Amino acid sequence: MPELPEVETIKSQLDRLITGKKIAGIKILLPKIIKLPGNAFKKAIIGAKIKRLNRRAKILIIELDNDWTVLIHLKMTGQLIYSPTPNTAENKHTHVIFKFSDKSQLIFNDLRQFGYIKLVKTAELINFFIKERTGPEPLAKDFTLADFQALLAKKPKAKIKQFLMDPKNIAGIGNIYADEILFFAGVHPLCQIKRLKEADIKKIFKGIKNILRLAIKLRGTSASDYLDAYGQKGRFAQKLKAYGKEGEKCVKCKGRIIRIKIGGRSAHFCPACQPR
């Protein structure tokens, strides 16, 4: 699933590639992806120019110059691929194609079809995320250790991995980066928050900042279907130490990484380096 680093990567790339471009048309091949009747969606966006791109949590925000904003969530297998010319990046999983006046295109692919595209009034954008109860951005300059400690204090009985993955607590962290953050901190994924020591909390907070920043620098993790806006794989998969490493040697102690289920999701960790 594309998480914060992957969506941030795509946002930064598309900001350079499509900002200022005029939307000349849109091809909707799978109507359910658009959370609005197709004709209404087309009427709202065709003729508008891309004003700017942003990201909130795992959602890409494309602000138009006509007071509308397009929200795109890639969910588990979504891709957004930029094509400088028509029909060069389409495949059998292509569901939506944004066509620009210079003949370039933005192509939305999604193998499992869980992703979506929504349209909201730009003035209502803040209220949209308030209603979604989206948590703070972990890489924001004003997100401090004290803020993190205050969030943890609200849910003392929660298991730390589930806490990190809940977007209502912190925005943008999913399965991959939760595993990597807890491995960095040496904290068991099932550890209840109330059992965390002050040193554990500081290490987790440091891991959040360091690992997410490095993942963005390396253009995300292509552990499954993720590709950046150029159709290229991210390079953070080469840095993974826990996620997807079941049965492999721990890079710290040479023990074995194991995998367990937590609330229907997997957690990868080293029992020796992350004791419960």
Q: Which residues are catalytic?
A: 2-3, 58, 265
Other CB atoms within 10 A of residue 99 CB: 20
The CA distance from 276 to 202, in Å, is: 18
Cβ contact 161:192 at 8 Å: no
DSSP E strands, the chain: 23-28, 50-56, 59-64, 68-73, 78-83, 94-100, 105-110, 116-121, 258-262, 265-269
Cβ contact 95:14 at 8 Å: no
User: By three-state DSSP, how is residue 248 classified?
Assistant: coil
In the block, tokens 């400088």 appear at: 84
Amino acid (1-letter code) at residue 106: L
Scored b (16 or more CB within 10 A) or e, 231-250 reads eeebebbeebbbbbbeeeeb
The CA distance from 101 to 212, in Å, is: 35
The CA distance from 259 to 267, in Å, is: 5
The CA distance from 177 to 67, in Å, is: 34
